[in-house]
Structure 1
Amino acid sequence: MSVVRDHDFLEDFDGWMFCVVGDIHPPEGFFAYPKYTPGPGPWRRGAQSFRRTIEKYSMSELKKLLDNLKTSRPEYVRLDYVLGAEMFFLPSMKVLKHYSCIEGLKNIVRKDNRDVLEQFLVDFIYEVSDSSGVGLEYLGVTGSILLGIHHEKSDIDLVVYGRENYWKIIDILEGMTSPRYDHSLRRFSTIYPISWSDAEKLAGRVKHKRTYHGIDFSVYGVRKIDELSEMYGDYVYRRVGLAKAELEVVDSSSSCFTPSIYLVEGYAEISEERYPVEKLTCYDLTYTALFHEGDRLQVYGKLEEVIDARSKDRFYSILTGSFEAAEKEYIKLLV
């Protein structure tokens, strides 16, 4: 099996399709959640149909899925010491097939008989590559089209490798495609406990979900190999509690990856005790590339103490996208 990267898919021996989350994994398997399983649904490969495991991507829906797996397939849930939390997990010994985003796109480009959506994808990536100057070798595709189970109404999930490449492509897409503002507004206003006006502020910032010639698509960033600087176990995370924080963004350059990371300054508070926060970590990719340097944010999420296992230095990070803060967590843009 080739190197497994963020947003790749892994298939188990029962035909379950797992989406890989991030690039940092334990040696014996992968943090990945089952997105498609055999069953009645519009996704098909030959005679086999597939269903999505969750109707709407939210932490509360993912928590329900995790709780179900704990009883039905406990081998797919891991209480991880390093992260200090329960996680979806696929052991290496359960992997039947690896679907690489890069290789998947190459295979579609090479195909002689492409369907309508595949042809749109090929035309689209050539136009994006030409306009941005980002080579095709830094592009991939994920989701149902990578797995070959897509249908005519499927959207496209484009993957861009490299921080600089991602921002180049986001810049050119703003000029050649349309934002999915209504989609983003519905999501912010229904999934998070924030006001309509707060949701409007956030929805107007969304850059990675767009529409082109009637086809919806998303753009996700993945680090190039030479941008990977952290290994599993380098940092250990310990829960402090659920906290409210007021933060200012000082560096958003890694907000395009999974998780989205913002370096921040500010304080979180729990029971009148204040904690200096240096990092905002968003596993909920709704917040991908959303905030900029100088933005002031109000955040409610899981406060963690982060321990550098090499230097023993410690700092505090606040996390959105945790199971325990589901339906409570939010980010508001103050300025």
Structure 2
Amino acid sequence: MGRNYFLDKDALIDKNDNIFFVLTNYNPYGYVFAYLKYIYTGKGLWKGFDRNLRYYGIRNLLQSRQEFIYEPCFGASFPIKRLSEVKKHLTPEDKIDEIIRKSSTSELDEIILDLISKIDVKNIGITGSILLNIQHSKSDIDFVIYGDKDTEDFFNTFEGFDIDKDWILETSKNYNIPVELAKSLYNKKTRGIYKGIKYSILFVDNKPWQYCKDICIKEGPIKISGDIYGDVRALYYPSTAFLFSNKKTFKILSYEGIYNTVLYGNHKVEIYGMLMECNEDNTIIVGDREIGGYIRPYMQ
């Protein structure tokens, strides 16, 4: 119960009852990279809480009413939460354990347990509003799968259920991308509808990462096409993969979570992002605050 280190998708409640979600598996001493999602107003749909971050995406995150700190290793400002201000740390794994051990279950709990049996992996948790016990009748079920093996097993065996058509339209609007691009990013394995309830599947490495491993210098925007190769690290956040183009290799680092399944596997893509020199390696960042960027799969 209650591991003492922080992973992506963990929830933090501060001394003012504001709710944050951790963004990464690498975090400095004294604070974590986290975004403010819920603020208590007494009138909000989520049992009195309102959403501070109503829409996802880097351009929306930059409007968040919270503290940002400039990180010289990355050459950018990140949203943070100071640990001295945190009163409670909630983990997705503990929430699953709580639901499984209940003596009586609700209709929502029954659907969660049914989905867990169909997803059929060992290391799984649940995040979002359900982790916080502030869900409403139309809340999504946000699952977290931990570790390389369970992530690969999931992608090899799970087929998904009904298509969530709303996700395509909402993603087009939230990220300011064409509907056709949003449609090409949709994956029924990770987003869908089961028994009338929307679900998402998110992926997190089960180990903390080294902070400030790379030092990066910004070179400028780049648009490039080539063959992408991504293993399970493409599915974590931030997503990482490799692009092979004109006998050159680029590391792709995406801070926009909608592109993770496109970076997974081996196929052709077009990428627009910010070219960075990181420890003498060429890295392209998608989700740069200046230019945004995108990853567009070539349709077969």
Give 1:333's aligned residue: 297
Superposition map of 1:1-335 within 5 A: 2-39=4-41, 40-44=43-47, 49-65=48-64, 68-69=65-66, 76-129=67-120, 134-135=121-122, 138-174=123-159, 177-180=161-164, 182-192=165-175, 194-203=177-186, 205=187, 207-225=189-207, 230-266=209-245, 276-307=248-279, 314-326=280-292, 329-335=293-299
Q: Write the deviation string for residues 294-318 of structure 1: whole angstroms up to 9, x where unpaired.
A: 42221112222212xxxxxx21111
Q: Write the deviation string for residues 109-156 of structure 1: whole angstroms up to 9, x where unpaired.
A: 222343322232123213432xxxx22xx1111000001111121111
Separation in 2, partners of 1:122, 1:206: 19
Separation in 2, partners of 1:37, 1:195: 31
Q: Cα gap change, 1:220/1:177 in structure 2, threshold over 3 Å: closer, same or farther?
A: same
CA contact (8 A) 2:24 2:238 kept: yes
Give 1:310's aligned residue: none
Q: CA RMSD in A?
A: 2.3
Q: Cα gap change, 1:150/1:195 in structure 2, threshold over 3 Å: closer, same or farther?
A: closer
Residue identity opposite 1:261 in structure 2: T
SS of the equivalent of 2:136 reads coil
CA contact (8 A) 1:252 1:289 kept: no
Separation in 1, partners of 2:55, 2:87: 27
SS of the equivalent of 1:158 reads strand
Give the gaps of 5 or more residues in structure 2: none
Q: How many residues align?
A: 296
Separation in 2, partners of 1:189, 1:261: 23
Residue identity opposite 2:199 in structure 1: F
Separation in 2, partners of 1:32, 1:196: 29
Q: Cα gap change, 1:208/1:283 in structure 2, threshold over 3 Å: closer, same or farther?
A: same
Separation in 1, partners of 2:158, 2:4: 31
Separation in 2, partners of 1:105, 1:197: 36
Q: Write the deviation string for residues 272-322 of structure 1: whole angstroms up to 9, x where unpaired.
A: xxx955211112111122245442221112222212xxxxxx211111223
Residue identity opposite 2:106 in structure 1: D
CA contact (8 A) 1:192 1:330 kept: no
SS of the equivalent of 1:201 reads helix
CA contact (8 A) 1:5 1:23 kept: yes
Tell me the TM-score normalised to structure 1 length. 0.81
SS of the equivalent of 1:118 reads helix
SS of the equivalent of 2:215 reads strand
Tell me the TM-score normalised to structure 2 length. 0.90
Residue identity opposite 1:58 in structure 2: G
Residue identity opposite 1:224 in structure 2: N
Q: Cα gap change, 1:154/1:244 in structure 2, threshold over 3 Å: closer, same or farther?
A: same
Separation in 2, partners of 1:193, 1:96: 36
CA contact (8 A) 2:223 2:271 kept: yes
